[in-house]
Amino acid sequence: MTVDMQRAATARPMAGFDIWGVVVRVSDGPMRALQRVLGERRMPYVFLLPNLVFFTLFVFVPLGLNFWYSLTGGAALFPSQRPNVGLQQYGFLFDCGSMLDASSCREDHFWRGVHNTLFFVVIQVSLMVLFSLVTALVLNRPIRGRGFFRAVYFFPVLLSPVVVALIWKWILQRDGVLNAAITTLGGQKIIFFVDPGWAMFWAIFVSIWAHMGFYTLILLAGLQAIPRDLYEAAAMDGTRPMRVLLRITLPLLWPNMIVVIVLALIRGVQTFDEVFVLTGGGPGTATLMVVQYIYETAFANQAQNFGLAAAASVVLGVVLFVLTLIQLGFSRRRAGA
Amino acid sequence: MQLGRVLAAALIICGMGLAGPVFAESTVRIAWYSDGNEGEVLLDLLKRFEAKNADIKVVVDQMPYKAIGETLPVQIASGQGPDIARVTDLGGLARYTLDLRPYLKDPAYWEKNFGPFLAWMRPEGDTQSIPGLMTQLTVTGPYVNKTLFEQAGIAMPGPQATWDDWAKATKTVADKVGAPFPIAIDRSGHRVFGMVISQGGKVFDDKGEPAVTDAGFKATAQRLYDWHKGGMMGKELWGSVSGATYRAANDEFKNGQVVLYLSGSWQIAQFDKTIGNAFDWIAVPNPCGPGGCTGMPGGSGLIAIKTAKDPKAVGRVMDYLADEDVLREFYSRTLFVPGHLGLSAKGVDYPTASPLAKEALGIFSKGVGSVAPLAFRLQGYPYNRLVFNAVISRIGQAVSGETSLEEAYKRIDADVAQQIAERKK
């Protein structure tokens, strides 16, 4: 690898005063000197260094601090003032008669959060992938108003999750738009947020509504990358549409599907803002998610149990790490195939 | 020459712009929340302070109440907090307070007028420091939609009525007029404990440690549970959210959907302004039980924070705000019950209040006199928030049908013990 910045500078079109050319010419000398000292093989690390510094400061250091907090107790904020309690916080979290029965656990809210999050992730991710796929397939066809529909499905992605949740809360509340419609049609008002089933249903529905556009876009990009000649060949052979879908579209779309599934899984496990604003985790703890448990344990109403919250977030981090490894595994297998 | 004139003019203009801040030698930051118009009144009062004290600039950061409870404590703990803050969790934040005595003109005036409330603000074991003043003394109590009673043609229960009397009467009214909620109670442990103490709850054991789930507590919890089950209370408040989330029913009351609403004196200004002539509302004395007819005292304190950059300037601002004339105007314009003993004794005029609001202020002011000593003790207990959090979280679960009341009692005791042990580490 050679660093020929001068050539790069002269390759750019010169229109009047070229500030880029000046920057390159000024930095060329020092960079060449640095390359002579470090050698060509080490030069890439010089360019990686600024990003690595920020990554260390804002990711690795907080990660380490969080782990340290999980080994401490008390309500003090600064690590130096917090007594070390070893693995006690993890012991509290996993002190369970049966992990399948939250009420048998010492930290029952954590396990209710785990169960709710699992349920939410399984249902939400399955439906999200299914609806995104169907929408992408439809939007990939030459239908009338395709551009408009693509924009319509993507629009909720641009909204803040809090705004999304507030809009739906107003729609769904006792005197909201939906209940007004129901009563106009002669039905009885439904108080959605006091019924555990309805609350979870709307949490999943709103989450899918808000994020489906993003995943549809990824799948649409994948669909458009499939060579047209494969479909033409299938049409010439008289292949049925379902067979085209199963034998051409889905196999070639699989790398994008993996990305969508893993991203949706990670996002699902991290769910907090929308559900928190929409249902507040209720009724009872019916829609309490793990991240809300962590937030409330640390901050809500001055609980300030930072150690326990940190331990729960370490557990959550491990789960997310495993999910990322699975994604990497799939990607590599695919690349090797 | 031309350029020189332009530069000179620019410098003069910049100098004029900077003159204010440059002249102010010290900046005091106040974190403040508002239930009604108190933020506006404070700004007005501080303008006058700044006019007389040009060396101090006071910046007021208006925050939502939720941020005061959740964000501010972390800010303060990290040393990045304001110099002064208006808070309600006086015991919980006591460890971060500044002892103002060295910076006050007359500490004896503070002791004389804020004496009993200073104990709520002091760190455990401290009996001397002066951390702040009360911007408002509050007492919990019920509001009643009088118009609904009149429309239903039902007589209101009298001053010594029990909770069961009120439950019966409000249910009859709600059924007759079609109101959705006969009773609403803020989703707050603080509100519940007025009822608990009235039902004979003792809250603490002989050693002074919390022993929450006694007979008085269970009698209250059972009522809350039954009222939700029987449709006396809507599940939207207590049953629709999780954990220690605070929810108030002031919007439902203002919309005429609630017959009796248990909240507190801080709602008066808001109700006076927003209900207007829509319906007649009144405050009534706290319902009675075997333990008395008490509400819970409380209020918001303006506390100085020990990380304040210029404690002397903080002392001057606090001295000004604690001044009897300044506080009289503050209480009078905000329709707050005074948290200043001198003004309590002399009385405060509320010229801007409607007759309904004046009557409610009278009821709550009288209510302060009938607050049980145990209620004052609980209010001053530094870990009271942990008790309140556990109670609303677990009763909320029972109300929503997730657990039984018996399970809730066990969990409350366990939560309180665990949280306090964690705090004491």
Can you give the length of chain B in residues?
Answer: 425
Interface test with B, best of A88, A105, A272, A302 (most B CBs within 10 A): A302
CA distance B347 to B367: 15
Q: Residue A302: what pLDDT?
A: 67
Give per-residue burial for A80-100: e unless 16+ CB within 10 Å, then b.
eebeebeebbbebbbebeeee
pTM of the predicted model, to two decimals? Answer: 0.83
Would an 8 Å CB–CB cutoff place A76 in contact with chain B?
yes
In this structure, what token pair is assigned to residue A119?
């349920």
Q: Tens of pLDDT along B325-340?
A: 999 999 999 999 888 9
CA distance B56 to B24: 5
The percentage of chain B sitting over the pLDDT mark of 70, rounded to a whole number, equals 94
Q: Quick check: is A277 in a domain?
A: yes
Four-residue CA torsion sign, A213, A217, A218, A222: positive
Q: Quick check: is A43 in a domain?
A: no
Q: Where residue A223 sits, what CATH number does that domain have? A: 1.10.3720.10
Element (H, E) at B61: strand B56-62
Q: How many Å lie between the alpha carbon of B386 and the closest alpha carbon of chain A?
A: 7
Domain ranges in chain B with CATH number 3.40.190.10: 22-137+299-346, 138-297+357-423
Q: Which of A283, A303, A304 sits opposite B400 (nearest CB)?
A: A283
What dotted CATH number matches B22-137+299-346?
Answer: 3.40.190.10
Would an 8 Å CB–CB cutoff place A61 in contact with chain B?
no
Structure confidence at residue B236 as a pLDDT band (50, 70, 90):
confident
Structure confidence at residue B416 as a pLDDT band (50, 70, 90):
very high
Range of the domain at A120: 88-336
Q: Residue B19: what pLDDT?
A: 45
Q: Which of A106, A284, A287 sits opposite B239 (nearest CB)?
A: A284
CA distance B45 to B301: 17
For residue B386, list chain A residues with Cβ-Cβ distance below 8 A. Answer: 303
User: What is the ipTM for the molecules in this complex?
Assistant: 0.80
- The SS3 assignment for A236 reads helix
Average pLDDT for chain B? 91
Q: Residue B17: what pLDDT?
A: 46
Q: Are A302 and B403 inside 8 Å of each other by CB? A: no
- Residues 6 or more apart whose CB falls under 8 angstroms from that of B151 comprise B176, B177
Q: Quick check: is A290 in a domain?
A: yes
**Cis ω for the linkage preceding A283 (within 30 of 0):** yes
- Which residues of chain A have a pLDDT value below 50? 1-3, 5-6, 8-9
Q: Quick check: is A118 in a domain?
A: yes
Would an 8 Å CB–CB cutoff place A299 in contact with chain B?
yes
Element (H, E) at A102: none
Q: Residue B5: what pLDDT?
A: 59
Q: Which of B236, B245, B425 sits opposite A174 (nearest CB)?
A: B236
Four-residue CA torsion sign, B82, B83, B87, B91: positive
Q: Are B242 and A292 inside 8 Å of each other by CB? A: yes
| DSSP output for A271-306 | --HHHHHHHTB-STTTT--HHHHHHHHHTGGG---H
Q: Which residue has the higher pLDDT, A213 or B91?
A: A213
Q: Are A300 and B70 inside 8 Å of each other by CB? A: yes
Q: Residue B315: what pLDDT?
A: 97
The CATH architecture to which B138-297+357-423 belongs is: 3-Layer(aba) Sandwich (3.40)
Q: Are A284 and B407 inside 8 Å of each other by CB? A: no
| DSSP output for B311-366 | HHHHHHHHHHHHSHHHHHHHHHHHTPBP--HHHHHH----TTS-HHHHHHHHHHHH
- Those residues of chain B whose CB sits closer than 8 Å to some CB in chain A are 69-71, 73-74, 77-78, 89, 92, 180, 234-236, 239-246, 385-386, 388-389, 393, 396-397, 399-403, 407, 411, 414, 419, 422-423, 425
Q: Which residue has the higher pLDDT, B214 or B10?
A: B214
Q: Tens of pLDDT along B4-47?
A: 555 555 555 444 444 444 456 899 999 999 988 999 999 999 99
Task: Report how far Cα B168 is from the mean position of its chain's Cα atoms.
Answer: 29
Query: Based on the structure, what is the number of domains in chain A?
Result: 1
Q: Are B244 and A308 inside 8 Å of each other by CB? A: no
In this structure, what token pair is assigned to residue B373?
């000593």
CA distance B139 to A65: 43
Q: Residue A7: what pLDDT?
A: 52
Task: Report how far Cα A328 is from the mean position of its chain's Cα atoms.
Answer: 16
In this structure, what token pair is assigned to residue A292?
């809300």
Q: Are B397 and A292 inside 8 Å of each other by CB? A: no
Whether the pLDDT of residue B1 is over 50: the answer is no
Q: Tens of pLDDT along A107-155?
A: 999 999 999 999 999 999 999 999 999 999 999 988 888 888 888 889 9
For residue B234, list chain A residues with Cβ-Cβ distance below 8 A. Answer: 191, 194
Q: Tens of pLDDT along B159-183?
A: 899 999 999 999 999 999 999 999 9
Q: Residue A9: what pLDDT?
A: 47
Q: Are A304 and B70 inside 8 Å of each other by CB? A: no
Question: How many CA atoms lie less than 13 Å away from B404 in the CB half-sphere?
Answer: 3
